[in-house]
Amino acid sequence: MPAAPPRPAVPGRSFVTRHALEDIVRTAVLGSYGVTGLAEPFLRRLRLGERAIRVRVGPDVAVDVRLTIAAGLPVAEVARQVDSAIRYALRRALDREIGAVRIHVAGLASGPFATPGGSSGSGAADVDTAVSRHRGDDR
């Protein structure tokens, strides 16, 4: 089957809100291996503090992300994967190169459900206890 001919560029402008870009970044970050969540301070919930994701649009697109990662994983490798995921998602959505991507690791999450590969190291007893507490069983 022959390849479809490229479509000619149509002159015009498109408008993308900052909120839409933040949603794209949020999806890319939370889909990355090792990320347990975004680090939104309590005051942000009251609309007083800083956001976990900040996107600035100017001559280039700049992104600041505050997140928590699972304990026991290499922080630099998780940050590298998050950076790559953000750049790929925004480049694909905007068809534009991305400027600075700053990743701030606000903390490490530990516990039986924090590590993507299994329990936090204490063994199966911790997982059984956590699962039974989640279900409401008393063991």
pLDDT in tens, the chain (139 residues): 677 777 776 677 777 888 999 999 999 999 999 999 898 766 556 666 678 899 998 888 999 999 999 999 999 999 999 999 999 999 999 888 899 999 999 888 886 545 444 433 333 333 333 333 333 444 3
How many of the other CB atoms lie within 10 Å of CB of 42? Answer: 8
Domain annotation covers residue 2: no
Measuring CA to CA, which residue among 119, 130, 131 is closest to residue 70? Answer: 119
Q: How many CA atoms lie within 13 A of 93 on its CB side?
A: 20
> Is residue 4 assigned to a domain?
no
pLDDT recorded at residue 13: 74
pTM: 0.68
Is-contact 27 89, C-beta < 8 A?
yes
Q: Does 11 reside within a domain?
A: no
Q: How many domains are there within the chain?
A: 1
Domain range enclosing 22: 18-135
Instruction: Return the pLDDT at 109.
Output: 86
- Confidence at residue 128, expressed as pLDDT on a 0 to 100 scale: 32
Position 73 in a domain: yes
Question: Is residue 3 in a domain?
Answer: no
* 85 domain residue, yes or no: yes
Q: What is the CATH number of the domain that holds 39?
A: 3.30.70.1350
What amino acid occupies position 35? V
34 occurs within a structural domain = yes
